Amino acid sequence: MKRIPSLVAASLTLALVSLTACSSDGSSDADGPVELTFWHGYTEADGDVLEQIVDDFNAAHDGEITITTQVNPWAVIDDTFLPALSADNGPEIVAMPAERLPVYADRGAFVDLDDFYDADEATPALNTGALDMVTVDGTRYGVPTGFVPLTMFYNKALFDAAGVEVPTTWDEWVTAAEALTVDQDGDGTPEQYGLALADHATVGNGVWPSLFYGNGGAIVEDGKAVVDSPENAETLEFWHDAITAGKISPTGVDGVSGDGLFSSGRAAMYIGGPWMATVSEENGVDYGIAPIPAGPQEQAASAIGVSMALTEQADQAQQEAAQEFFSYFLSQQEATTWALGSGWPPLRTDVPASDVAENPVVAALTEQAALGRPLLPGVVNSTDVLTAVDTLTQRAMAGDPVDALLAEAQTAVQAALDD
């Protein structure tokens, strides 16, 4: 019988603890330094550099501003940010994949940064594509932390063995891929593919938009769906034919299995982001980086972006402190440090490739930076648009008739834009 009170007490404490854990203590002390919490998902070498930048900033603002970082994978941030906001216990600064920013901005989660941009000296030099990704309905809600065009990784050893040059046009690309596709046992399933062309769910979702751009097509333009175009039909048919005729790439590949195919040496070419450099090194793949080969109309690549934003939970002092950090982060010196350490090209156009030459990956990507186009900038409901594009490309590669698919995708994308 003695156990009852202690049980009741224990459960009450538990309940109280969980309640207090929900309540926020984000407000800043009037006397002490302004305290900011910063969530980001840079977990590799890029994370170390970002921590260093934050530490340096804290040291430079000793007693005034203290930023505490919390590192989680991007997917975890996306899953926990909403509950944290609704419990009034979110971070003041949050970094997230750029295509996720508009949906939060549209719901009023972020502070309008137009005044910051008007006042800050760093911002005119920012890559305009990166800026487009933080702009929703003409208002800037974030600061870019990364903007990089998708690029082609190729396996140098396999290229040398097949005696193939790095392709620069689509036709060369397909020819090279055919030469690099090896079906040793002749069972119709190649052991080595020339190319791993992901047809859905790629990180950054940029493979197909890049191909569409190459032939003069697009997905969304000026807030209108433009998927259903003869250019896009041609693109889909070209790649479907190339894949069926030469078996140059497996179908049904998503970003994760594409990464695996390239890093295990089973695919000679792959479209990816800067992280593929690290992945390749870890797996002992001697890789080269080249721009995505030019299409019949244009040479362009979809870009991946990451942006950080200032949440509405920040009070006035915290907002000022965060903007102080943003301008520190965007300064020419820190932007260069950040680029070198993170492996992403500099966000400022006034940092020349020669300044980042010590990191060959960054230097190569910096030269390609101008090819990058932001993916669906300002589109709030990007989830549904990308789902529609994924459906389109998967079914087209599986051999469904392209015209009907494009019409369907057009309706779905427009509905998502109107939503």
Q: What does residue 28 show for φ and ψ, rounded to 5 degrees?
A: -100, 150
Contact 104, 110 (CB under 8 A): yes
Residue 245 sits in the site that holds another protein (CB under 8 A) = no
Rounded to whole angstroms, how far apart are CA atoms 263 and 271?
12
> 4 or 59, CB closer to another protein?
4
Q: By rule CB under 8 A, what count of residues binds another protein?
A: 42
Residue 247 sits in the site that holds another protein (CB under 8 A) = no
Residue 79 sits in the site that holds another protein (CB under 8 A) = yes
Neighbours of 323 (CB within 10 A): 20
> 81 or 329, CB closer to another protein?
81
Rounded to whole angstroms, how far apart are CA atoms 379 and 113?
18
Q: Among 129-137, 155-163, 166-174, 382-390, which window interacts with another protein (CB under 8 A)?
A: 382-390
Residue 107 sits in the site that holds another protein (CB under 8 A) = yes
Q: Among 76-84, 148-156, 171-179, 351-359, which window interacts with another protein (CB under 8 A)?
A: 76-84
Sequence-ordered list of residues with C-beta below 8 angstroms from that of 402, at least 6 positions apart, any chain: 233, 236, 237, 240, 396
Rounded to whole angstroms, how far apart are CA atoms 104 and 114?
17
> 15 or 45, CB closer to another protein?
15
Residue 407 sits in the site that holds another protein (CB under 8 A) = no
Going residue by residue from 283 to 322, which x/- string records binding to another protein, judged by CB under 8 A?
A: -----------------------------x----------
Rounded to whole angstroms, how far apart are CA atoms 74 and 80?
10
In 3D space, the residue among 253, 240, 244 whose CA is nearest the CA of residue 203 turns out to be: 253
Going residue by residue from 155 to 194, which x/- string records binding to another protein, judged by CB under 8 A?
A: ----------------------------------x-----
Residue 102 sits in the site that holds another protein (CB under 8 A) = no
Q: b/e string for 147-157 if b means 16 or more Cβ within 10 A?
A: bbbbbbbbbee
Residue in 52, 72, 139, 251 binding another protein, rule: CB under 8 A:
251
> 201 or 353, CB closer to another protein?
201
**DSSP characters over 23-40:** S---PPPSSS-EEEEEEE
Dihedral (CA of 311, 62, 348, 206) sign: negative
> 19 or 30, CB closer to another protein?
19
Place of tokens 């500099």: 346
In 3D space, the residue among 194, 208, 301 whose CA is nearest the CA of residue 247 turns out to be: 194
Residue 268 sits in the site that holds another protein (CB under 8 A) = no
As given in the structure block, the two tokens for residue 167 are 């392709």
> 169 or 251, CB closer to another protein?
251
Residue in 18, 20, 333, 354 binding another protein, rule: CB under 8 A:
18
Residue 83 sits in the site that holds another protein (CB under 8 A) = yes
Residue 201 sits in the site that holds another protein (CB under 8 A) = yes
Between CA 45 and CA 52, with CA 48 as vertex, the angle to 5 degrees is 145
Binding region for another protein (CB under 8 A): 4, 7-8, 10-12, 14-15, 18-19, 78-79, 82-83, 85-86, 103-104, 107-109, 189, 200-201, 250-252, 257, 260-261, 264, 266, 312, 381, 383-384, 387, 390-391, 394-395, 398
